[in-house]
Structure 1
Amino acid sequence: MSENDKVKVAVLGASGFIGAELIRLLAAHPKAEPVFLSSQQYAGRPLGQVVSGLRNSPVAGRRMRSLDELTKVDVAFSCLPGGVLPKVLDDVSAEADLVLNLGGDYRLHDAAEVAEHYPESAAGWRQPIPYYVPEFCPRPAEPVVNLPGCMASAAIYALYPLFAAGLVEPRVVVDAKTGSSGGGHGGAEHPALRDGNVRAHKLHGHRHAPEIRQAIGEFTGTTPDLQFSAFSLPVVRGVYAAAYTWLRPDAGAPEVRRAYAKAYADARFVRVAGGRSPMALPMLKTVNGSNTAEVGASAEGGRCVAVAALDNLLKGGAGQAVQAMNLIFGFDEGLGLAEVGAWP
């Protein structure tokens, strides 16, 4: 590409929370141009009428289109509901040089786990499609790339340094809490029940559990024995994950500190937070509105608690996808992405 060329971008499933966040980022990106926005439900209507938060966007007047109208683009971001992309991937790939999938259809490598956790995707599931976390993976050369889920991202960032350095036993418990936007437009919980409330969402069998096991095993060589439970928070944005592990006999607090410093020394969008004050540890207020994930860990008495916080719509979704696009196309990694959240 020449210096003045822009990447022609399609956002598939543009009316959802992640799709809208992608459009917001891409419309302000100096190297990208959103030229195709799809919505089967709202085809023909202007974007700004469908997504109120984008009515002041420079692309607010662009009309949503049916997916079968897709024409040639450099990259297509798929934010389609589960089970849809496997039915249309060949058609999308014929028009897009690169497909970045933000959905869960191809995250798992094991066919039996796909059938259990993504039954709507199983019929059209195929492998190999790379699972890409920018901080841990080489730049993919394949034309279809799958990105991680939001709660999985937080858990992976929290656990990776411990397993990469061989500091902990394989047994892990992860407690992940998420805001309401994580459920998308289809969430059925009434605001009166969500507001001022914290409740269990899924204590066993969450689809992010095999994803985390698979990713940690692939990135570090050790697959954890993982208990993953998810909870709902009375906030709109944010994921907060706490990972409880047991240190090996030769590991302690100094080794844990060194492991996190080493793992994220060159990671632009993962920051190691911590100190004597609890306010120095990761929290939602310091990451929401940014593409930055914060991680921190505390070891004492043979046990280690690692925590991670991120914005589920950005570092856990649209921001991570733009970061991936930047790296794949050879742009500056942070182009179009905020590193600092809104405060307070």
Structure 2
Amino acid sequence: MTDRMKVAVLGASGFIGAELIRLLSDHPQAEVSFMSSQQHAGKPLGQVVSGLRNSRLAGRRLRAADELSKVDVAFSCLPNGVLPGILDEVSGQADLVLNVAGDYRLRDPGEIAEHYPESAPGWRQQIPYYVPEFTARPSEPVVNLPGCMASAGLYALYPLFRDGLVEPRAVVDAKTGSSGGGTHSTEHPALRDGNVRVHKLHGHRHAPEIRQALATWTGTEPELQFSAFSLPVARGVFATAYTWLREGVDAGQVRRAYARAYADAPFVRMSNGRSPMAFPMLKTVVGSNTAEVGVSVEGSRCVAVSALDNLIKGGAGQAVQAMNRVFGLEETLGLPEVGAWP
């Protein structure tokens, strides 16, 4: 491509919206031409998002979403329930809409009503759910992207169910940093600092998302226990998935399944698991679009762990990766592969 794509970021003042602007600012084939914020319309970006005050876009003013003019791609980082009410207008101005919110992740009307009640009135079944490593490049004009903890759980579980190596049940323990609560979180830093606590033991909305995705991609919908916990860090998701091998399956088969599944995935890296420090950790992925996965087998018990940055691989980076694939660009274009260390 010779001409840079014009892109819009709707919901630019949130954590993922701001991260999208940061990533797209350095993308050689993209130009941020529109940024919206209903709450801060008319204010300069750098005044609203302190982390972008040194960006060359800092002086550009945020606008109302209904001022959107023609663009190639619109990234929607709006709160759940907002995009369905304006989707026709947005898709009329954008060749591709990539939704980072959860509006269209689920297909079952009952589960949508339970987990995304704000989105239920505008639900559209035909909108595809897209994870670059697991699904073909979409041709539809509107695409919904996965949740951050769902992504971590899927990277840990997918090879096992794809190759039919485990019993149809799993337990996933997912821990996330405070940015997962968004900019409007009311939790006081003094309660988060130095603390690990329960977020939700049962009924988390990423559970049906994981079950649905595995059923679609592998033909097996497992019985799933999904529990979420809060970590005293700003960014990152660390997921541990427990499964039970089918009779006759050994550790070698498990390792080969993961190697095959991610052989051509530039942003999913398998750790060798030879020592505890070789397994996935937040320090090696935060600041990058890379997800690390590791697996260990003892007898019939299989434990897989995955780690990723919730705002990048679990959000903004995943969306840029999807844009790259849809437009036939190099998949890694404009995306960091290495986290900040230490």
TM-score computed with the length of structure 1 as normaliser: 0.99
1:219 Cα shift?
1.1
**CA-to-aligned-CA distance 1:12-48 (integer Å, 9 cap, x gap):** 0000000000000011100000000000000001100
Identity of aligned pairs, percent?
77
Picking from 250, 253, 269, the partner of 1:252 is 250
1:128 Cα shift?
1.0
1:93 Cα shift?
0.6
Question: Which residue of 2 is the match for residue 63 of structure 1?
Answer: 61
Instruction: Give me the whole-angstrom Cα distance separating, in 2, the residues matched to 1:287 and 1:319.
Output: 12
Picking from 35, 38, 44, the partner of 1:37 is 35
State whether residues 267 and 290 of structure 2, in contact with CA within 8 Å, keep that contact through their aligned partners in structure 1.
yes
State whether residues 9 and 35 of structure 2, in contact with CA within 8 Å, keep that contact through their aligned partners in structure 1.
yes
Question: Which residue of 2 is the match for residue 100 of structure 1?
Answer: 98
Runs of 4+ off more than 6 Å: none
Instruction: Give me the whole-angstrom Cα distance separating, in 1, the residues matched to 2:157 and 2:61.
Output: 43
Instruction: Give me the whole-angstrom Cα distance separating, in 1, the residues matched to 2:235 and 2:191.
Output: 17
Ranges in structure 1 where 5+ consecutive residues have no aligned partner:
none
1:184-263 equivalence runs, <5 A: 184-263=182-261
State whether residues 273 and 294 of structure 2, in contact with CA within 8 Å, keep that contact through their aligned partners in structure 1.
no
Picking from 296, 299, 302, the partner of 1:298 is 296
The letter of the residue matching 1:205 is: G
Superposed CA RMSD = 0.6
1:266-281 equivalence runs, <5 A: 266-281=264-279
1:159 Cα shift?
0.1
Instruction: Give me the whole-angstrom Cα distance separating, in 2, the residues matched to 1:258 and 1:276.
Output: 16
Instruction: Give me the whole-angstrom Cα distance separating, in 2, the residues matched to 1:186 and 1:42.
Output: 14
1:252 Cα shift?
1.4
Instruction: Give me the whole-angstrom Cα distance separating, in 1, the residues matched to 2:59 and 2:288.
Output: 26
State whether residues 175 and 230 of structure 2, in contact with CA within 8 Å, keep that contact through their aligned partners in structure 1.
yes
Q: Secondary structure at the match of 1:299?
A: strand
1:4 Cα shift?
2.3
Matched length: 342
The letter of the residue matching 1:76 is: A
**CA-to-aligned-CA distance 1:171-200 (integer Å, 9 cap, x gap):** 100000000000101111100000000000
Question: Which residue of 2 is the match for residue 310 of structure 1?
Answer: 308
Instruction: Give me the whole-angstrom Cα distance separating, in 2, the residues matched to 1:29 and 1:58.
Output: 13
State whether residues 274 and 282 of structure 1, in contact with CA within 8 Å, keep that contact through their aligned partners in structure 2.
no
**CA-to-aligned-CA distance 1:285-306 (integer Å, 9 cap, x gap):** 0000000000011011201000
Question: Which residue of 2 is the match for residue 129 of structure 1?
Answer: 127
Instruction: Give me the whole-angstrom Cα distance separating, in 2, the residues matched to 1:276 and 1:108.
Output: 38
Picking from 180, 183, 194, the partner of 1:182 is 180
State whether residues 288 and 311 of structure 1, in contact with CA within 8 Å, keep that contact through their aligned partners in structure 2.
yes
Q: Secondary structure at the match of 2:233?
A: coil
The letter of the residue matching 1:35 is: S
Determine whether 1:329 maps to 2:311: no
